[in-house]
Amino acid sequence: MEKQRESHVKSLRLLQLEKAIQNMNYPSVERLMKELEVSRRTILRDIDELKLYYNAPIEYDRRRLVCYRLLP
């Protein structure tokens, strides 16, 4: 039962992250951390998961430390 709850929480967080990136202009990881109340590592891991498993058009510019959506 605990595993299902963790999976549900993660799914909700991924949706929140996707919406936050869509709605903010070039959000920094720090801003996303505050918005979702999670660690830096969690944000970076979730961005990778959105890109890899859901083909989300998101990029993270490590030099500028911001996220952005690619236009279709």
pTM for the model stands at: 0.82
The pLDDT, as a whole number, for residue 72 is 58
The ranges of the chain with pLDDT < 70 are: 65, 70-72
Phi, psi of 65 (to 5 degrees): 60, 45
Q: Which residue has the tokens 């510019």?
A: 61
- Amino acid type, 4: Q
Q: Rounded to whole angstroms, how far apart are CA atoms 59 and 47?
A: 8
Q: pLDDT tens-digit profile of 35-55? A: 999 999 999 999 999 989 988
Residue 41 in contact with residue 48, Cβ under 8 Å? Answer: no
